Amino acid sequence: MKILITGGAGFIGSTVADHLLENGHRVHILDDLSTGFPENVNPDASFHRLDIRSAEAHSLIRDGGFDAVCHHAAQMDVRRSVREPLFDADVNILGTLNLLEACRLGGVSRVVYASTGGAVYGEPAELPVRESHPINPICHYGISKHTVEHYLFLYRHLYGLDYVVLRYPNVYGPRQNPHGEAGVTAIFTLAYLTGRRPRINGDGAQMRDYVHVRDIAQANRLALDLGNHAASRGIFNIGWGRGRSVLELDRIIRGFVGTDLEPEFGPPLPEEIQQIALDSSRAREVLGWNPSIPFETGLSDLVEFHRARLGG
pLDDT along the chain (312 residues), means of 10: 97 97 97 96 98 98 98 93 96 98 97 96 96 96 97 97 96 84 86 96 95 97 75 85 96 97 94 94 95 96 92 74
Active-site option among 113, 121, 141, 172 = 141
- Whole-model pTM: value is 0.95
In CATH, what number is assigned to the domain containing residue 183?
Answer: 3.90.25.10
Q: What is the pLDDT of residue 62?
A: 98
Same domain, 221 and 261: no
Same domain, 126 and 275: no
Residue 168 bears catalytic tag: no
Quote the crossing angle between the two packed helices 55-63 and 95-106, to the nearest 10°: 30
Peptide bond connecting 128 to the previous residue in cis, omega within 30 degrees of 0? yes
Same domain, 229 and 245: no
Same domain, 165 and 178: no
Q: What is the pLDDT of residue 289?
A: 96
Q: What is the pLDDT of residue 183?
A: 84
Q: What is the pLDDT of residue 181?
A: 54
Same domain, 159 and 64: yes
Same domain, 126 and 262: no
Q: Find the helix or strand (DSSP H, E) in which 18 lies.
A: helix 11-22
- Strand 207-208 to 244-245 pairing: antiparallel
CB distance 93 to 87 below 8 Å: no
Residues of the chain with pLDDT > 70, as a percent, come to 96
Q: What is the pLDDT of residue 79?
A: 87
Q: What is the pLDDT of residue 77?
A: 87
Range of the domain at 301: 173-208+241-309
Same domain, 157 and 266: no
Same domain, 299 and 214: no
Same domain, 40 and 68: yes
Same domain, 258 and 218: no
- Among residues 138, 217, 127, 124, the alpha carbon closest in space to that of 172 is found at 217
Interatomic CA distance for residues 87 and 177, integer angstroms: 21
- The CB density around residue 64, as the number of other CB atoms within 10 Å, is 17
Same domain, 203 and 250: yes
- The string of DSSP codes covering 207-243 is EE-EEEHHHHHHHHHHHHH--SSGGGSEEEE-S-S--
Number of domains making up the chain = 2
Q: What is the pLDDT of residue 271?
A: 86
Q: What is the pLDDT of residue 263?
A: 97
Q: What is the pLDDT of residue 178?
A: 76
> Sign of the CA dihedral 279, 235, 149, 240?
positive
Q: Which of 187, 219, 237 is the last residue of a domain?
A: 237
Same domain, 89 and 225: yes
C-alpha radius of gyration, the chain, whole number: 19
